[in-house]
Chains A and B, each alone.
Chain A
């Protein structure tokens, strides 16, 4: 793909992705066919900041986990009052990283 398009995509979406994967993703995108550009443009990522706010506000209800697609873990978190409060506290710290990891996995699935 065109380097300008790839850089534009990464500038707009780097905050949603894991830092240490950016270089690897850039290399992969540059090697890809130009026809994939449209698909990339329409990819939706979860915003880590939004997830953090959701986690802070509705942690014991596990809305953050459901938004990330972790249905099973969400049900477990919901059934246990947010893991007796412990899981909620852990997710407050971890949720931004988990969101970036999930976004990166989603992008990797699309480009490989």
Chain B
């Protein structure tokens, strides 16, 4: 049961739906209130330290309000998430309408690129740095 194009599109569509649902749930709150009200991270819940992606929701909320600095402060990964949430539905729709698999091919290329050491090592280092920053901020 490998990840075929249709499975990938379905998975990404569901992920986007959950993402939009989650944003709708927290959109009434100010970014700084989200972490106190909803604790979805198991690492923060049990180990009391933030994970590398903690603060992403607050970052996305800040970006939705046009606050780029806030988005960068809460978690730079928020930029990746909001870009995915905006682009993915259109890309999936384009592929489905024209019966193409450009998004799936892009995903496979992304995976292949990340498997290369000279790409993987800097990405891992950046994620670790971001994690350290998250812990120091106490997100």
Contacts and interface: CB of A to CB of B under 8 A. Distances in A.
Contacts of A72: 107, 110-111, 114
SS of A interface (majority): helix
Given A71-B115, A79-B56, A81-B56, A60 B43 contact: yes
B115 A81 contact: no
B81 A60 contact: no
B96 interface: no
B42 A71 contact: no
B42 to A, nearest CB: 5
Interface string A80-111: 11111110100000000000010001000000
A84 B22 contact: yes
Contact of A80 (B1, B56, B107, B111): B56
A54 B107 CA distance: 25
Nearest to A80: B53
Contact of A81 (B41, B110, B111): B41
Interface in B99-133: 107, 110-111, 114-115, 127
